[in-house]
Chains A and B, each alone.
Chain A
Amino acid sequence: MLGPDAYLHLGALDALASGDSPVHRLDPRAKVLTTALFIVTVASFGRYEVAAMAPLALFPAVLMAVGDIEAGYLGRRILAALPFVLLVGALNPLLDRAPALRLGLLTVSWGWISFASILLRFALTVGAALILVATTSFDGVCLGMEKLGAPRVFTQQLGFLYRYAFLLVAETTRLARARTLRAFGRKAAPGEFATLAGQLLVRTWDRARRVHVAMLARGFNGAFPARAALAWDARDLLFTVAWASVFAAVRIWNLPALLAGLVAGGPG
């Protein structure tokens, strides 16, 4: 559920995307593919694996560092989206109480471990999605998806939605505010809502008609122009293959355990 600050957030990620860095300059397809692989890898870990997943944090960390993306904004977005997952995940410690680990007086149950796993998964997958948009721009992601085979009509749809979302969010906020100022704290009844939404819908439909007229006036004949071709080079290939290998390695071998083994197995 979005608040009235949705407007700001839509633009904020795209503003980040207008920066320039080696990550920004990569082909969108490379970033889309790698992010997809990343998310699948995270999701493929067993429900009790926490530490084994930790090396995957390298992906968002490196992209943020090289892409000059500050952690603050992303952190806030992750926190904002947390509630529902917390609600569902928090049942794990309650239901799964078999002890897994004892640290002196403290007993950690399997439920807490799976809960920690859920939280880590959440941070990683959400972070990756946000970083994708922050380094590629929404339009870039659409273009990448299109060149990867997504239907043109769908990416076209995404383009129009995004383009007019700002306007619509602004109009909706104005309408809602105008109502709130005369409502004295009372929430809208369904009928009131319907009038408000209805006016907005009618205005929106009319705008769609006007856009269509403007398109016709510039020679539109039913076929949207094809978008510019993307150029895939060695850097993009290297990026994708390298990260895919890292993900595979992290998935196959429990690197933190090996690390701990090295450290604990030292002189002593």
Chain B
Amino acid sequence: MHMADALVSPAVGGAFWAVSSLTLYPCGRTTARRAAEGWGPLTGVLGAFVFAIQMINFSIPGTGSSGHLGGGLLLAILLGPQAAFLTLASVLAVQALFFADGGLLALGCNLFNMGLIPLFVAFPLVYRPLAARHRTAGTILAGVAALTLGAVAVAVETRLSGIAALPFRAFLAALVPIHMAIGLAEGLATAALVQFLRQARPELLAEAPAPRWRAAALVGLLALGTGGLLSWAASRAPDGLEWAVARVTATEPTATDPVHRALARAQEAAPMPGYALAGSKAPSRGQTSLAGVLGGLLTLALVALVAQVLRRFRKAHARP
């Protein structure tokens, strides 16, 4: 479910970075207040645990497919949503930096989808009300809810970014069933793990701070609303940044004049008559051309050349 930078626009990425950062600060403060109790190493080491446990797959009964433990719900049950958010943020950051599992611009989106939604929407609104008497069912339902909502969020963010050509409904139809199954797996695994702990080390389950789930739910819904609003506003000016750049420089984002001229000359001396440029459908696309492609290839070749020269230079002047 990790989104890559390749599919995210700066507007959407920025909007969700804002929402996620704004959530991170108070969560950080809440966790820091328990530093004297050892919550620094605890949240850190549990983050490493979540990171490591994601390597292990287990089978989902009845479906033949496998899942892995995302860890959000488990962390919320063990640490409370705020510390869990901080921990998940660190896990996602490491995944993005080292494994390209999620982009850096998209980090805000990923933290929103895989952190904020499970911890501040699913956990307080689904798990907590059921936890007293229907704990297992509550865990499973919360897992399904978290992943499903997360999948919807991915679809929305991708659509609003406008880089992938996906029709929204089709994307949703593809994502949601898969993620409901993943959510089921997550819920099952989390429930089983909590059950294990209840028998092996029940005192660990009592460590989480007293739940203020109404406050947590409020945070979640606020964040959902803000994220949605910001993204919608950003998408109102399609290719927003591009539009801004065009306004500033008073040109089309893809400059065509030198290309047109070059093309005219090239066509006069064309070795293969019959070259034609197809018209474009969408007004913002402008013209593309063989010359443009050529220019791109030439540029890459130049870049490679520069890199080679620099490397030789480095080797020749390398420090002892």
Contact = CB atoms under 8 A, between A and B. Distances in A.
Contact of A258 (B188, B195, B272, B295): B295
Contacts of A84: 2, 4
B294 to A, nearest CB: 5
B52 A171 contact: yes
A153 B2 CA distance: 24
A9 interface: yes
B319 A20 contact: yes
What are the 7 tightest A-B residue pairs by CB atom distance, in nearest-first order? A160-B44, A51-B296, A212-B38, A256-B295, A260-B295, A194-B192, A261-B258
A55 B297 CA distance: 10
20 contacts: A40-B10, A57-B299, A65-B308, A88-B7, A98-B280, A103-B290, A118-B163, A130-B98, A152-B32, A156-B40, A157-B90, A160-B40, A165-B94, A195-B196, A198-B193, A205-B42, A224-B40, A257-B254, A260-B292, A265-B262
Given A258-B258, A264-B291, A265-B261, A44 B242 contact: yes
A88 B164 contact: yes
Nearest to B102: A81
Contacts of B255: 253-254, 257-258
Interface residues of B, number: 129
Given A46-B253, A102-B275, A169 B55 contact: yes
A78 B131 CA distance: 42
B46 to A, nearest CB: 7
Interface of A: 1-4, 6, 9-10, 13, 20-21, 35-36, 39-40, 42-52, 54-55, 57-58, 61-62, 64-66, 68, 77-78, 80-81, 84-85, 88-89, 91-92, 95-96, 98-104, 107, 110-111, 113-114, 117-119, 121-122, 125-126, 129-130, 132-133, 138, 141, 151-154, 156-165, 167-169, 171-173, 176, 187-198, 200-202, 204-205, 207-209, 211-212, 215, 221-224, 251-261, 263-265, 268
Nearest to A3: B55
B71 to A, nearest CB: 10
Given A84-B4, A261-B291, A52 B254 contact: yes
B306 A125 contact: no
Chain A residues touching B, majority SS: helix
Given A190-B58, A192-B58, A256-B295, A125 B189 contact: no
Interface stretch (B23-31, B113-121, B220-228): B23-31
Chain B residues touching A, majority SS: helix
A11 to B, nearest CB: 10
